[in-house]
Chain A
Amino acid sequence: DAKTTQPPSMDCAEGRAANLPCNHSTISGNEYVYWYRQIHSQGPQYIIHGLKNNETNEMASLIITEDRKSSTLILPHATLRDTAVYYCIVRVARTGNQFYFGTGTSLTVIP
C-alpha cells in the first residue's frame, strides 16, 4: 500500500517554480523517497530520489524535512512540457524494494 499522500491537482504559471508537496508520515528510517512523473499514456519517468539530505539534479530539487515526514519536489522553472501527473513514492525497504504508487498530483502548467 502507498505510504504517501499528495494533493490531487495543482496549477503553476509557466516560468515559475512548481512546488509539489508530499506527506509520508509513516516512513521508516531506511526508506527512500522517489519522485516520478507520468505524461498521459506513457510510462513513468524518474525525476529524483533522496533519503535524508536535500537533492538536486538537472530536472528538479527535492527538499526533505528534518523529521522526514514530508518532502517537496521543486521544478525551478516550469514549462508546458512539465504538465504531468507527479508521483511521490516511498520505496519499501524489504526484499524486492517495491514501489507502491499513490494517487499523485496532476500538475498543469499554464501559459
Chain B
Amino acid sequence: GAVVSQHPSRVICKSGTSVKIECRSLDFQATTMFWYRQFPKQSLMLMATSNEGSKATYEQGVEKDKFLINHASLTLSTLTVTSAHPEDSSFYICSARGTGEQYEQYFGPGTRLTVT
C-alpha cells in the first residue's frame, strides 16, 4: 500500500517551453501533497505544499507563477514548470501524506527534468 507514482519519469524540453509533471497516490487518498526539488549531490528542497481544492502554499524563494501547482482531486497533483530554462533542470519529487494521524509522507520515484 501507500504507493505514489509520477509521470513522466524523465523529460527533456527546450528552453521557453512548459512542462507538466503528474503525481498520483495510487491506493490512498491524499489531502496534502508536497513538491520537492533536488539538485545533483544535494538534499531535497521543499518547494510547496498542495492541499486538495485550495491554492498551494509556496516556500520562500519559490516563484509561484513559474511553478504552477494544481491539486484538483484527492489522488492527483500536478506541477507545471512554465517557461523553463536550463537552471530549472533538476530532479522533481512529489510526496503524498496519508490520511491517518501519523503524518508520514510517501514519496514518488521522481521526475528528471532537463531543459536544453
Contacts and interface: CB of A to CB of B under 8 A. Distances in A.
A34 B104 contact: yes
Interface string B39-60: 0000111100101000001000
A91 B103 contact: yes
A44 interface: yes
Prevailing SS type, chain B contact patch: strand
Contacts of B106: 46
Contacts of A45: 107
A96 B104 contact: no
A99 B34 contact: yes
Contacts of B91: 41
Interface in A1-41: 2, 32, 34, 36, 38, 41
B93 A98 contact: no
A38 B109 CA distance: 10
Prevailing SS type, chain A contact patch: loop
A58 to B, nearest CB: 15
B97 A97 contact: yes
B4 A102 contact: no
Interface residues of A, number: 23
Interface string B58-92: 00000000000000000000000000000000010
Determine which residue in A34, A38, A42, A43 has the highest number of CB atoms from chain B within 10 A of its CB, and name it.
A43
Contact of A99 (B46, B51, B108, B110): B46
B102 A49 contact: yes
Interface of A: 2, 32, 34, 36, 38, 41-46, 49, 87, 91, 96-104
Interface of B: 4, 6, 32, 34, 36, 43-46, 49, 51, 57, 91, 93, 95, 97, 102-110, 112
27 contacts: A41-B110, A42-B109, A43-B95, A43-B107, A43-B109, A43-B110, A44-B93, A46-B104, A49-B102, A49-B104, A87-B44, A91-B103, A96-B32, A96-B49, A96-B57, A97-B32, A97-B97, A97-B103, A98-B46, A99-B95, A100-B46, A101-B36, A101-B43, A101-B44, A101-B46, A103-B43, A104-B43
